[in-house]
Amino acid sequence: MYLRYPDRSHSVTRLTDLIWLRMPKQFSLRTVLLVTAFVAIGCLLAIGWRESILGRTHYSRRLENHIEQLRVRKPANLTPAQWECMVDWTRNLHGNSLIAFQTTTSEIATFESIVEERLSGNVDATTIEWVWDAYADVCPGGQDYQRFRTMVNEALVALKSPTLLDPPTGSAGTRSSEPRHAEVVGGVATGGD
């Protein structure tokens, strides 16, 4: 097939010839600099987004994994149902605190390493309390979620747990080393101490 251009006296036989005739023969320095600037800005934005959002999400998922690993590390003084209740509520704390969106990447990375170190040893009800207090200290969502401690304790009382969560202290470093013990009255556990 032959295409004829009114301003040209020759015929174009291939599509590449058609494209080549319409493309500019050279780029100006201004065009090259603009394209380079847009590519550089795009790369910087992509790297920044990755480091910010993906980094925080990475550490948030690691925190979630640490909490999930508590399920198989039940202390001897709690029944499986009591321990599951504590771990489930702590997982809810993690999910509802929105830690990945209320901290910087360095803050959540530091927090994750502290939690990992704390959870690497023996765990019990005081460990769960420490995690709750730590979340309250690291992000506003963790502080807001502290209001559910009463619901955790109600569930633990229903399960006749020997320990309950203390009211929030506001500082993970000043947590008492002794868990709050439930008082058994008439065969039913209540908030003792």
CA geometry: angle at 149 spanning 147 and 153, to 5°? 145
Q: How much is the pLDDT for 22? A: 58
pTM, entire model: 0.66
* Ordered per-residue pLDDT tens for the chain, 193 residues: 555 555 555 555 555 555 555 555 566 778 888 888 888 888 888 777 666 777 888 899 999 999 999 999 999 999 999 999 999 999 999 999 988 888 888 899 999 999 999 999 999 999 999 999 999 999 999 999 999 999 999 999 999 999 888 876 554 444 444 444 454 444 444 555 4
For the chain, the structural domain boundaries read 29-190
> Which alpha helices (DSSP H) does 50-158 contain, by range?
55-69, 80-97, 99-102, 105-119, 125-138, 140-144, 149-158
Q: How much is the pLDDT for 6? A: 55
